[in-house]
Structure 1
């Protein structure tokens, strides 16, 4: 921009206002690119922790390659589609590129250098991750698991939940087939409406020995085990505590039929504590086991935390 001196006050004021706005726009564009690259780095490193640079097709506004610090390809379009980077992450990065590339000045404000493939490909150097981000990525690349048990007339059935990075998925196995989808939808809604979030990634819940058990009675055990995987509660808090109750779509813990029998079986199996629906407390007369009521999922976790602190 060439500056032109102005002496007339009104003209000078307009000129100064324009120059300030112009500079602010240039600064905003630099900030936009910086934050877009930081966001893209976060998305990609969630699945490819060694990512150090991206190659993008600025004409197609698409991610072309993910490179490590030595320039080796960790991911390459289209041959790596669906591997290394989930398609959902690739789509999100492409949407980001589609939003920012039209702002121009890719070699100036953005600092994107011409790639070895030649134009329209450019290389974007990713910022170094902070220590907390590196720790988060290490956690995200690990498989996480938790388990609890539910008393049934036949056995102490195990509920095992496992999370791994990847495309978002939520699967429950071990329930009667006609009740699996209904239970999954109820658990998802109950967790969300209680103020929690299912972890991003692949979540698999396996319930062994529960095919003959009324599905709703296992809701509390399923939900709490999932939340242990999500980090909402320490998995150790689930040890030796029976979890018995239906979960409403609103996150409320509801009473179940034959709760007294379920608590009796838990006690006979060596359990000395149980969490049930608050409304079920008056229906239990089993001696020797501490029975604690919870009106909702959040209260159930509070009870479990309190019990764990006494162990």
Structure 2
């Protein structure tokens, strides 16, 4: 079975070589899947895509004309895929519903601690032989109230760690997990979560209902100096609204591993190019903002799971069976 892998980096190639079934034949393309690059899938039976690949109606139509019968997502989110069009065209879509949720949870906690104790600033100071503590004052995470928006696998993994820190947990999700109560947390409305949380962390999927969940109104209802962390999907946050929140000091700390317009930025080395995104460049000017390039998932264990589950999804399609990871059969 021939598979065209888009947005492929060296670690993707190495991972599939090491952990995917040897009967699968991968061709790797470092460009994103778009209407311009779709022709690279010619001669293949399936395409394998990531978070910023375009799998809209136009691209799916072109894929169908090339004889592509399956889209294998090597990620959990699928907001970039037009599932209705895929179903109409008879293209199977499968994802990796969970790959080491602890990886994302641990990165989330790392961002909280780094922002709070200003570890990134301290690192640079010491390298310049500056051992002054002025400007590095943090706070105890113990006893703080943390609001988790979304308590799926990643949200729960984050809750377990925060429980160990001695935090009070406020949660919001359409589906309530029993484990949250065992961890001493409770489910509340978004309004209560915003108003009472010292730290807010986003772990919900991107849907029409959650797009710009964090906006001028919701930021205005938060505590002054709140810490906001997003390791989920960039468009959960209105970027211009958080800039206003930073300027007004309503947001005291901001950690982003995702960004609304990240498709043209993340996963690439742009160090020798001019970045034209004025909103992103404005975010980088704030001393209380920490941005990482969608790396929260990036651990050895997670990469192995992604490769193995993606391989299983492709093999199931080839044998006309299912894995349970299908979004469109």
Specify the TM-score bucket, using the shorter chain as the normaliser: under 0.3
> Which structure dedicates a bigger proportion of its chain to strand?
1
Normalising by structure 1, report the TM-score: 0.25
Normalising by structure 2, report the TM-score: 0.24
Q: Which has the larger radius of gyration?
A: 1
